[in-house]
Structure 1
Amino acid sequence: MQAQQLPTYRGWTWLKEGFALWRRSPALLTFLAFGYLLVLVLVSVVPFVGQPVASLMMPILSLGVLNGCRAVDNGRKVGPDILFSGFKGNVQALLAIGGLYLVASLLVLMLTTLIDGGILLKVMTGSRMDESATADPRITGALLLAIALSTPVMMAYWFAPILAGWWKLPPTKALFFSFYACLRNWRPFLAFGIALMVFGALIPGILLGVVGLISPSLAGMLSIPLPLIMIPVVFASFYINARDVFGLPPDVLAR
């Protein structure tokens, strides 16, 4: 296992190749993407323990989605139960990754209280806020600080589930190598981020706006299938960039 350093243009192709992968099994990949989101939402609404448990489950369910993408990529037929395949191996490491990610995210939010007095923290934790508090200009600085601090946290988490699940790395090593791989490939990831904004938000927004001028009802109808396609395509593109950077374990390559 070695983190490859990819050229910038590869980031532009991840979304395209994610779409191609989705087209090979749209029903399965759509189910996995929305099943992942639905499970996390349902767990997070449980009082007191829901949100921490959902954070702990994130790496396990992420691995399940990526296992499904890997199966489609290899031409293997699998069922919807593959969403929970992450529970079958190295669960302790995956839970630890989720726990460390949760702690780091909370630490970032706590640091923003130095700027806004805790407004952003209350918003993110679902506390009821006065409308005037959310309009406080300090929240802009807190958001900028949160973005700056959460970026390395996301870099450490990005590949960690597959490194723990496919290569059986312990959590600290998985987080370290994920951060290193993202840092080494910041250029293609920047290109990927731009591609997401252009093809995931800008172009669909312009398209819906133009159609809306002609027929608002048609624009409303088109706004429904777009997320149903875009969200699983984005999930599939996560698998593509993981495969590009780290390849696949030998047992998969041998099939």
Structure 2
Amino acid sequence: MKLRLVPARQGASWVRLGVRTFFRQPLALAGLLFMFMALMSVAGMVPLIGLPIAMTLLPACTLGLMAASREATQGRFPMPLILLTAFRSGAPTLRAMLTLGALYALGFVAVMGLSYLVDGGGFAGMYLGGQAPTSEMLGSAEFQAAMWVFIGLHLPLSLLFWHAPALVYWHKLSPAKSMFFSIVACFRNFWAYTLFAGLWMGIMVLVVLLVTALSSLSGSPGLAASLMLPALLLVASMFFTSLYFTYLDCFEPEGK
């Protein structure tokens, strides 16, 4: 396996390829994202251990979405079982993937725990969906500090695991090595990833503005509420489709 360095403009190419590939198989890729979210939600409902279980499954499910993108690029229809790719890859790879998931779960719980210490759990309750934020809470210095603590610590955690599932599965690396090469790839191709993230954030903001404007022009305030979630899920599907291309361009193909 060899790390590749790419120019900054490649970040825009990843976005473009993600959007183009999504529209090759829109129903399949959108459906797989819905299944992925449903699986995470069901796992998260288990009392006490639900969150760690969901976080442990996250790398494996992310790999399933990347494998679906790969199928779509090759002109094939991704079937629902592709989401379980990591669980059908043999005992050694499955153990490595679950170890990777356990490490991510530990990191996520630690980051969320640190934010809890800052504001007493206000941000954690909102982020995890169990508590509706009030205007007073959103404006408090403690809540904002907890939010920035979470963002500041979760970003490097995400980079450690960005490519890790793909490297464990397609390159048979150990969890530790896959995390190391993942964050190195992200830093060595910093500007490409910065452009990639910036473009997706811009697309999301643009979609929100378009839905809001459409609702305003139609004179139907409820239209925004009806369209916003489907529109954002559509963007999320394209984003997850594009993840495969960030991996594909940053590492030599498996077997080389």
Same fold at TM > 0.5: yes
Note closer, same or farther for the CA distance 1:128–1:222 as it changes in structure 2 (3 Å cut).
Answer: closer
The within-5 A match list for 1:1-255 is 1-89=1-89, 90-113=93-116, 115-124=118-127, 135-201=139-205, 203-217=206-220, 219-220=223-224, 222-223=227-228, 225-250=230-255
Q: Give how far 1:125 is off.
A: 5.5
218-227 or 187-196, which deviates more: 218-227
Note closer, same or farther for the CA distance 1:139–1:70 as it changes in structure 2 (3 Å cut).
Answer: same
CA distance in 2, matches of 1:81, 1:233: 20
TM normalised by structure 2 equals 0.87
56-65 or 135-144, which deviates more: 135-144
CA distance in 1, matches of 2:56, 2:249: 26
CA distance in 2, matches of 1:118, 1:207: 34
Partner amino acid, structure 1, of 2:188: R
163-172 or 9-18, which deviates more: 9-18
Q: Percent identity?
A: 28
Q: Give how far 1:241 is off.
A: 1.1
Q: Is the 8 A contact 1:36 1:61 kept in 2?
A: yes
Partner amino acid, structure 2, of 1:241: T
CA distance in 1, matches of 2:166, 2:85: 12
Note closer, same or farther for the CA distance 1:127–1:196 as it changes in structure 2 (3 Å cut).
Answer: closer
CA distance in 2, matches of 1:44, 1:112: 19
CA distance in 2, matches of 1:171, 1:82: 21
Q: Give how far 1:133 is off.
A: 5.8
Q: Is the 8 A contact 1:12 1:191 kept in 2?
A: yes
CA distance in 2, matches of 1:2, 1:142: 38
Q: Between Structure 1 and Structure 2, how many residues are aligned?
A: 250
CA distance in 2, matches of 1:224, 1:140: 25
SS of structure 2 residue aligned to 1:241: helix
Q: Give how far 1:83 is off.
A: 1.1
User: Structure 1: where are the runs of 5+ without partners?
Assistant: none
Q: Is the 8 A contact 1:60 1:161 kept in 2?
A: yes
Q: Is the 8 A contact 2:208 2:228 kept in 1?
A: no
TM normalised by structure 1 equals 0.87
Q: CA RMSD in A?
A: 2.5
After superposition, give the CA deviation of every residue in 1:68-104 in whole Å (9 maximum; x if it has no partner): 1111112234422111121012111111111111111
Note closer, same or farther for the CA distance 1:225–1:104 as it changes in structure 2 (3 Å cut).
Answer: closer
After superposition, give the CA deviation of every residue in 1:13-43 in whole Å (9 maximum; x if it has no partner): 2221101101111121111111111111111
User: Structure 2: where are the runs of 5+ without partners?
Assistant: none
Q: Give how far 1:111 is off.
A: 3.0
After superposition, give the CA deviation of every residue in 1:43-74 in whole Å (9 maximum; x if it has no partner): 11122222111111111111111111111112
Q: Give how far 1:134 is off.
A: 6.0
CA distance in 2, matches of 1:204, 1:153: 28
Q: Is the 8 A contact 2:25 2:77 kept in 1?
A: no
SS of structure 2 residue aligned to 1:5: coil
Q: Give how far 1:199 is off.
A: 1.3
Partner amino acid, structure 2, of 1:198: G
Q: Is the 8 A contact 1:119 1:134 kept in 2?
A: no
